[in-house]
Amino acid sequence: MDFQLLTPALVAEFEAIVGTAHVLTAQHTEADVYADYGRDHTEDLQFTPDVVVRPGNAEEISRIVRLCHEHRIPITARGAGTGLSGGALPVHQGVVLSTERLNRILEIDERNLQATVEPGVVNEAFQNAVKEVGLFYPPDPASKGSCSLGGNLAHSSGGPKAVKYGTTKDYVLNLQVVLPTGELIWTAANTLKNSTGYNLTQLMIGSEGTLGIITKVVFRLLPYPKQNILMLVPFRQEAQAAEAVSAVFRAGIIPSGMEFMEREAIVWSSDYLKIPLTLPEDIRAHLLIELDGQDLDQLYKEAEAVYGVLEGYDIGEILLADTAAQKDDLWKIRRNIGNSVRYNSVYKEEDTVVPRAELPTLLRGVKEIGSRYGFTSVCYGHAGDGNLHVNIIRGDLDDEMWNVGLRQPITEIFELCVKLGGTISGEHGIGLVQKGYIGIALPDTNLELMRGIKRVFDPHGIMNPGKIF
Q: Enumerate residues 225-254 that contact a second copy by CB under 8 A.
A: 226, 246, 249-254
Q: Which is nearer to a second copy, 6 or 383 (CB)?
A: 383
Distance CA 258, CA 276 (A): 22
Site for a second copy in 332-361 (CB under 8 A): 351, 353-358
> x/- string (CB under 8 A) for a second copy, residues 55-94?
----------------------------------------
CB of 3 to a second copy, least distance (A): 22
CB of 351 to a second copy, least distance (A): 7
Cβ neighbours of residue 216 closer than 8 Å, sequence gap 6 or more: 58, 106, 116, 117, 118, 119, 175, 176
What are φ and ψ of residue 173, in 5° steps? -95, -35
Is 183 a binder of a second copy (CB under 8 A)? yes
Cβ atoms of residues 178 and 212 within 8 Å = yes
CB of 54 to a second copy, least distance (A): 26
Q: Which is nearer to a second copy, 6 or 354 (CB)?
A: 354
Instruction: Give residue 283's identity as a one-letter amino acid code.
Output: I
Exactly one of 294, 371, 403, 408 binds a second copy (CB under 8 A); that residue is: 294
Give strand ranges (E) for 300-386. Answer: 319-320, 347-353, 377-382
Q: What Å distances lie between residue 116 and 57, 282, 322, 418, 449, CA to CA?
A: 14, 49, 36, 37, 32
CB of 167 to a second copy, least distance (A): 6
Cβ atoms of residues 216 and 116 within 8 Å = yes
CB of 104 to a second copy, least distance (A): 19
Which segment (47-55, 98-106, 263-271, 293-301) binds a second copy by CB under 8 A? 293-301
Q: Which is nearer to a second copy, 226 or 372 (CB)?
A: 226
CB of 213 to a second copy, least distance (A): 15
> x/- string (CB under 8 A) for a second copy, residues 90-109?
-------------------x
Exactly one of 215, 391, 425, 464 binds a second copy (CB under 8 A); that residue is: 425
Q: Which is nearer to a second copy, 266 or 299 (CB)?
A: 299
Exactly one of 65, 188, 378, 392 binds a second copy (CB under 8 A); that residue is: 188
Is 131 a binder of a second copy (CB under 8 A)? no
Q: Which is nearer to a second copy, 172 or 393 (CB)?
A: 172
3-state secondary structure the chain: CCCCCCCHHHHHHHHHHHCHHHEECHHHCCHHHHHHCCCCCCCCCCCCCCEEECCCCHHHHHHHHHHHHHHCCCEEEECCCCCCCCCCCCCCCCEEEECCCCCCEEEEECCCCEEEECCCCEHHHHHHHHHCCCEECCCCCCCCCCCEHHHHHHHCCCCCCHHHHCCHHHHEEEEEEECCCCCEEECCCCCCCCCCCCCHHHHHCCCCCCCCEEEEEEEECEECCCEEEEEEEEECCHHHHHHHHHHHHHCCCCCCEEEEEEHHHHHHHHHHHCCCCCCCCCCCEEEEEEEEECCHHHHHHHHHHHHHHHCCCCECCCEECCCHHHHHHHHHHHHCHHHHHHHHCCEEEEEEECCHHHHHHHHHHHHHHHHHHCCCEEEEEEHHHCEEEEEEECCCCCHHHHHHHCHHHHHHHHHHHHHCCCECECCCCCCCCCHHHHHHHCCHHHHHHHHHHHHHHCCCCCECCCCCC
Exactly one of 9, 111, 276, 398 binds a second copy (CB under 8 A); that residue is: 111
CB of 62 to a second copy, least distance (A): 12
Exactly one of 74, 426, 465, 466 binds a second copy (CB under 8 A); that residue is: 426
Which segment (11-19, 311-319, 328-336, 385-393) binds a second copy by CB under 8 A? 385-393
Q: Which is nearer to a second copy, 51 or 430 (CB)?
A: 430
Distance CA 407, CA 430 (A): 15
Instruction: Give residue 1's identity as a one-letter amino acid code.
Output: M
Exactly one of 59, 107, 282, 295 binds a second copy (CB under 8 A); that residue is: 295
Which segment (4-12, 18-26, 187-195, 322-330) binds a second copy by CB under 8 A? 187-195
Site for a second copy in 251-290 (CB under 8 A): 251-254
CB of 355 to a second copy, least distance (A): 4
Which segment (273-281, 332-340, 402-410, 422-430) binds a second copy by CB under 8 A? 422-430
Site for a second copy in 139-168 (CB under 8 A): 155-158, 162-163, 166-167
Exactly one of 45, 67, 113, 319 binds a second copy (CB under 8 A); that residue is: 113
CB of 445 to a second copy, least distance (A): 5
| Number of residues forming the site for a second copy (CB under 8 A) | 94
Is 112 a binder of a second copy (CB under 8 A)? yes
Q: Which is nearer to a second copy, 134 or 312 (CB)?
A: 134
Is 436 a binder of a second copy (CB under 8 A)? no
